[in-house]
Amino acid sequence: MNQVRAIYAAISKKMAAAITYTGEFLHAYLFIYMVRTGGILFEGDPEPIMKELKRIGDQVKEVGEKALKEAEKAGELSQDTKKKVDELLVKQGELQARLQETEQKLDKHATGPASVEYKSIGGQVVESDELKEYVKEGNFKKSITVQVKAVTSAANSVGAAVAPDRLAGIVTLPQQRLTVRDLLSPGRTSSNLIQYIKETGFVNNAGMVAEGTKKPESSITMTEAQSVVAKIAHFIKASSEIMSDFPALQSIIDTRLRYGLALIEEAQLLKGSGVGNNLNGIYTQASQYAAPIVINNPTRIDVLRLALLQAELAEYPSTGIVLNPADWTAIELQKDSTGAYIFANPQSTAQPGLWGRPVVTTKSMTVDEFLVGAFKMGAQIFDREQASVTIATQNEDDFVKNLVTILAEERLALADYRPEAFVKGDLTPAAA
């Protein structure tokens, strides 16, 4: 009988510890779980916790009474009873570990950055004074009300849990449409200088001659002209790590660098000053507009037609018109007295054109200026080195900094054979 009492005492101590600890844990753990999952303890909410505690207590009590009876009867516990006791003890260990983990998480939450202005509902409830006072009193049959702020999708609320949908690649900037190169004749060179002989004068004395008389002499004047090959270049630095980790970036950089060359090239072909390393642009060398005939109250469209006539009288019939996009739009929108468009058809898909010549628009042309001319006949581009991209690390201290230099460059020359083949001027007619 003493052995039975000893067994009973041991079981009673273990059962009592299990009941006490399980009750304390379940109150804390279940409450934390409800808070973490967004539940709020309003009136009547503590009742389910008390019922769960009572159910577990009754179960443990039942096992203890059964163990006592078995010990008094047989002197030892059955295998089933031992198994139940062992399961309760194992469960106790598991709950203790989970409680410790939960307390650590709450500690981290409580010691978060002071700059957090908004917290989730669970965070606000756990840290509220009302809950702390409620737990301290231990009277779980009464209810409490905790005031909480709204949970929003802000980054410092539950919105931080929403993963962004990141798209692949890079959204690049728009690129200007480049058109001037296509107007001119293409060419290649292997030198750094383009030289050519240009006829500058012709005296034609051809005439009718009588038999036996001296024939008249005509003359031609020639001069040597030259165009220097110029270079356009720029570079970008990038780390070797990003180039390896983001292979598409190199393609994007290459494309952007090439575009940068082409953009400056277009500006130089039109309006290069010819000073220093600048090209001598066709607009820079073009003949100034002077109306060949006089008309009353000329419009923009009239000015362009007279400029075409000026080039034609110089024996260089124009093959195109270059305008700023804003100026061409203003011409297209001109209407007659009935409100109908004069030149434009809003439903037409035809290419822009005026007076039988194609109209090319570019932002490289200044607003209210124009250029007409025989582009193929009057000028030619000579490419010495077409646009290329080179990558190197042997530059400055790139090697020791794990940097790469991405260089883009091209070399070309512009031969403006006949400046008089081009006519430039202001679109707005001068005041009479």
Confidence class of residue 68 from pLDDT cuts 50, 70 and 90? Answer: low
Confidence class of residue 366 from pLDDT cuts 50, 70 and 90? Answer: very high
Q: Evaluate whether residue 54 is within a structural domain.
A: yes
Could you tell me if 300 and 331 are in contact, meaning their C-beta atoms sit under 8 angstroms apart?
yes
Residue 96: HSE in the Cβ half-sphere, 13 Å Cα cutoff: 11
**What pLDDT, on the 0 to 100 scale, is given for residue 40?**
42
Segment 180-207 mean pLDDT = 92
> At residue 129, does pLDDT exceed 50?
yes
Tally the domains of the chain. 2
Tell me the pLDDT tens digit for each residue of 245-292.
Answer: 777 787 888 888 999 999 999 999 999 999 999 999 999 999 999 999
Which of 109, 132, 161 is the C-terminal boundary of a domain? 161
Q: Which residues contact residue 417 at a Cβ distance below 8 angstroms, ignoring those fewer than 6 apart? A: 196, 198, 225, 377, 378, 379, 380
Tell me the pLDDT tens digit for each residue of 217-236.
Answer: 999 999 999 999 999 999 98
> At residue 38, does pLDDT exceed 50?
no
Bridge partners (DSSP) listed for residue 49:
none
Lowest mean pLDDT among 158-167, 285-294, 354-363: 158-167
Confidence class of residue 49 from pLDDT cuts 50, 70 and 90? Answer: very low
Q: Based on the domain organization, do 64 and 206 belong to the same domain? A: no
> At residue 1, does pLDDT exceed 80?
no
> At residue 44, does pLDDT exceed 80?
no
**What pLDDT, on the 0 to 100 scale, is given for residue 294?**
92
Q: Which residues contact residue 319 at a Cβ distance below 8 angstroms, ignoring those fewer than 6 apart? A: 183, 357, 358, 373, 374, 375, 376, 377
d(CA 421, CA 379): 9
Q: Based on the domain organization, do 134 and 272 belong to the same domain? A: no
CATH number at residue 407: 3.30.2400.10
Tell me the pLDDT tens digit for each residue of 378-421.
Answer: 999 999 999 998 888 887 888 888 888 889 999 999 999 999 99
Average pLDDT score over the chain? 78
Lowest mean pLDDT among 93-107, 119-133, 360-374: 93-107
Q: Evaluate whether residue 224 is within a structural domain.
A: yes
Looking at 247-326, which runs of residues are DSSP E strands?
A: 287-288, 320-323
Could you tell me if 357 and 320 are in contact, meaning their C-beta atoms sit under 8 angstroms apart?
yes
Could you tell me if 354 and 319 are in contact, meaning their C-beta atoms sit under 8 angstroms apart?
no
- Angle, vertex CA 61, rays to CA 58 and CA 65, nearest 5: 140
Of the ranges 52-66, 84-98, 122-136, 182-196, which is most confident? 182-196
Q: Please indicate whether residue 11 or residue 263 has the higher confidence score (pLDDT).
A: 263
**What pLDDT, on the 0 to 100 scale, is given for residue 244?**
79
Q: Which residues contact residue 178 at a Cβ distance below 8 angstroms, ignoring those fewer than 6 apart? A: 262, 263, 265, 266, 362
Bridge partners (DSSP) listed for residue 231:
411
Confidence class of residue 120 from pLDDT cuts 50, 70 and 90? Answer: low
Could you tell me if 223 and 198 are in contact, meaning their C-beta atoms sit under 8 angstroms apart?
yes
Q: Evaluate whether residue 172 is within a structural domain.
A: no
Q: Evaluate whether residue 168 is within a structural domain.
A: no
Q: Based on the domain organization, do 283 and 410 belong to the same domain? A: yes
Token pair listed for 93: 């260990």
Q: Based on the domain organization, do 224 and 372 belong to the same domain? A: yes
DSSP for 176-240? ----HHHHSBP-B-SSSEEEEEEEEEEE-------TTSPPP--EEEEEEEEEE-EEEEEEEEEEH
Query: Burial code of 18-32, b = ≥16 C-beta within 10 A, e = fewer?
Result: bbeebbebbbbbebb
> At residue 242, does pLDDT exceed 60?
yes
Lowest mean pLDDT among 56-60, 212-216, 240-244, 338-342: 56-60
d(CA 402, CA 407): 16
Using CB atoms within 10 Å of the CB of residue 422, give its burial: 0 to 12 exposed, 13 to 18 middle, 19+ buried: buried
Q: What are phi and psi of 429, to 5 degrees?
A: -60, 145
Tell me the pLDDT tens digit for each residue of 294-330.
Answer: 999 899 999 999 999 999 999 999 999 999 999 999 9
DSSP for 329-377? HHHHT-B-TTS-BSS--TT--PPPEETTEEEEE-TTSPTTEEEEE-HHH
**What pLDDT, on the 0 to 100 scale, is given for residue 293?**
94
Could you tell me if 308 and 314 are in contact, meaning their C-beta atoms sit under 8 angstroms apart?
no
Q: Based on the domain organization, do 131 and 227 belong to the same domain? A: no
Q: Based on the domain organization, do 322 and 386 belong to the same domain? A: yes
Q: Based on the domain organization, do 76 and 151 belong to the same domain? A: yes
Confidence class of residue 97 from pLDDT cuts 50, 70 and 90? Answer: low
Q: Based on the domain organization, do 255 and 318 belong to the same domain? A: yes
**SS3 of residue 165 by DSSP:** coil
Which of 102, 130, 161 is the C-terminal boundary of a domain? 161
Q: Based on the domain organization, do 221 and 304 belong to the same domain? A: yes
Segment 53-62 mean pLDDT = 60
Q: What is the pTM of this model?
A: 0.61
Lowest mean pLDDT among 55-59, 63-67, 338-342: 55-59
Q: Evaluate whether residue 115 is within a structural domain.
A: yes
Q: Which domain holds residue 7?
A: 2-161
Separation in Å, CA 68 to CA 12, 92, 95: 9, 21, 26
Q: Evaluate whether residue 171 is within a structural domain.
A: no
d(CA 283, CA 273): 9
Segment 61-88 mean pLDDT = 64
Token pair listed for 57: 């207590």
Confidence class of residue 166 from pLDDT cuts 50, 70 and 90? Answer: confident
Q: Based on the domain organization, do 56 and 110 belong to the same domain? A: yes
Q: Based on the domain organization, do 121 and 195 belong to the same domain? A: no
Bridge partners (DSSP) listed for residue 232:
410
Q: Evaluate whether residue 167 is within a structural domain.
A: no
**What pLDDT, on the 0 to 100 scale, is given for residue 399?**
83
Q: Based on the domain organization, do 184 and 156 belong to the same domain? A: no
Question: How do 379-392 and 403-416 pair as beta strands?
Answer: antiparallel
